[in-house]
């Protein structure tokens, strides 16, 4: 087991280095750098531009820039945003609470919707209820979450004249205002992601319901609810846990469009802005951060498997 853990951790390193190189190269291949963008349209002499590039280190050869970046990362220094001048850590710190809170709310909503519906659909397989639930969930997959968001704003606006607040309030300043701002995006995103977990719940519960131990539980005369919840669902949850955690990892940085619709200043928006500004240190740090979260969550999920299911052994 220890060997497995060490091996997996070591395997992350080449993946993350690959991510770092790819981000670095792609961003440098994008035409225009921050200096060019900043002075676009104005008649600034070429010397000033060259000087600015020199200060930012953008005139060095690409490999030298990469070595610089890697050296500073190894000192745990992520550098500064070229656009705002603040340190990258600071920029991320401001947005992280919002993104994490939104991801948690959306995941909670998704799970609360997905597990009961998935179980009901499995228990009533091929009935009208099953079809209705499946159509509902495939619908969630089909509608872009940003559009669900727009429609929800439209509905609350026309029915109650209420629109989510434009300014974000931190959770601890005013919890009600905070939730008012996040509830619609959380529901919009949660509905979409509940679809995947719901389908997973349905198919694994269906599989588990055919197992011998479920028949045994029924034969003992247990009530059907207990059989389903305690014997079937508990054993079916494992793959659902995987799907939910991977979605969670994705939600932290992946809500680019939803953040745009609800005017939320989260990690996704930060990334889009950083790409638009060619803010190399910020882009690189963000992509590396998101990739690390993804890789780590993947790894933790595999470990959780062992805890939840003693039959699984890694070697």
Partner 1 sequence: MVETEPRVAGERTSFADELARRRYLESTGRRRFVRFWVDFVRQRPLGTAGAILIIVMLLAAAFANVIAPYDPTAINFPDLLKPPSPQHLLGADNFGRDVFSRVVFGSRTALLVGFSASLVGCTCGLVLGVVGAYLGGRTDQIIQRLMDVLLSFPLIVIAIAVVAALGTGEDKIANVIAAITVPIVPRVARVVRSSALSVVQMPYIEATRSVGAGAIRIMFRHVAPNVFAPYLIMLTAFLGQAILLEASLSFLGLGVFEPTPSWGLMLRGAGMQFLEQAPWLAIAPGVAISMAVFGFNLFGDSLRDALDPRLRTG
40: DSSP letter? T
Residues 2, 3, 10, 29: which binds partner 1 (CB under 8 A)? 29
Angle between helical axes of 128-142 and 175-209 (0-180°, round to 10):
130
Q: Draw the binding track, 118-157, toward partner 1 (x: CB under 8 A; -: no contact).
A: -------------x--xx--xx-xxxx-xx--xx-xx--x
Is 224 buried (19+), middle (13-18) or exposed (0-12) by CB count in 10 A? Answer: exposed
Site for partner 1 in 231-260 (CB under 8 A): 239, 243, 250, 253-254, 256-257, 260
Name the H helices within 265-308.
267-277, 280-308
194 within 8 A of 108, measured Cβ to Cβ: no
Q: Draw the binding track, 293-312, toward partner 1 (x: CB under 8 A; -: no contact).
A: -xx-----------------
Residues 22, 44, 70, 171: which binds partner 1 (CB under 8 A)? 22
What does residue 87 show for φ and ψ, rounded to 5 degrees? -70, 150
Q: Which two tokens stand for residue 115?
A: 């597990």
Other beta carbons within 10 Å of 264: 21
Spatial separation of the C-alpha atoms in residues 283 and 275, rounded to whole Å: 6
Q: Does residue 109 touch partner 1 according to CB under 8 A?
A: no
Residues 98, 117, 133, 196: which binds partner 1 (CB under 8 A)? 196
CA 151, 156, 162, 165: dihedral to nearest 10 degrees?
-40
Q: Does residue 158 touch partner 1 according to CB under 8 A?
A: yes
Minimum distance from residue 14 beta carbon to partner 1 (Å):
6
Residues that bind partner 1 (CB under 8 A): 14-16, 18-19, 22-23, 26-27, 29-31, 131, 134-135, 138-139, 141-144, 146-147, 150-151, 153-154, 157-158, 196, 199-200, 202-204, 239, 243, 250, 253-254, 256-257, 260-261, 268, 271-272, 275, 287, 290-291, 294-295
């Amino acid at each position: 087991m220890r060997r497995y853990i060490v091996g997996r951790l070591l395997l992350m390193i080449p993946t993350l280095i690959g991510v770092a190189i790819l981000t670095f190269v792609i961003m440098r291949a994008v035409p225009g750098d921050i200096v060019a963008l900043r002075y676009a349209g104005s008649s600034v002499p070429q010397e000033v531009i060259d000087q600015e590039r020199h200060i930012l280190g953008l005139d060095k050869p690409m490999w030298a820039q990469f070595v610089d970046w890697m050296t500073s990362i190894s000192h745990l220094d992520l550098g500064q945003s070229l656009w705002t001048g603040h340190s990258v850590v600071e920029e991320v710190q401001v947005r992280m609470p919002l993104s994490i809170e939104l991801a948690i709310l959306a995941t909670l909503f998704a799970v609360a919707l997905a597990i009961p519906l998935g179980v009901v659909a499995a228990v009533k397989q091929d009935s009208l209820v099953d079809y209705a639930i499946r159509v509902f969930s495939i619908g969630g997959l089909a509608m872009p979450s940003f559009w669900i968001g727009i429609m929800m704003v439209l509905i609350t606006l026309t029915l109650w004249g209420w629109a989510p607040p434009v300014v974000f309030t931190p959770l601890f300043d005013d919890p009600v205002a905070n939730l008012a701002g996040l509830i619609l995006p959380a529901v919009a995103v949660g509905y979409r992601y509940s679809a995947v977990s719901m389908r997973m719940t349905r198919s694994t519960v269906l599989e588990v319901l055919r197992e011998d131990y479920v028949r045994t539980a029924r034969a003992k005369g247990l009530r059907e609810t207990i059989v389903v919840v305690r014997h079937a669902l508990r054993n079916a949850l494992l793959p659902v846990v995987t799907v939910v955690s991977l979605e969670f990892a994705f939600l932290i940085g992946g809500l680019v469009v939803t953040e745009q619709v609800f005017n939320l200043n989260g990690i996704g928006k930060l990334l889009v802005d950083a790409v638009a500004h060619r803010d190399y240190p910020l882009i690189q740090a963000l992509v590396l951060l998101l990739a690390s979260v993804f890789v780590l969550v993947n790894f933790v999920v595999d470990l959780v498997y062992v805890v939840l299911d003693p039959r699984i052994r890694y070697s």
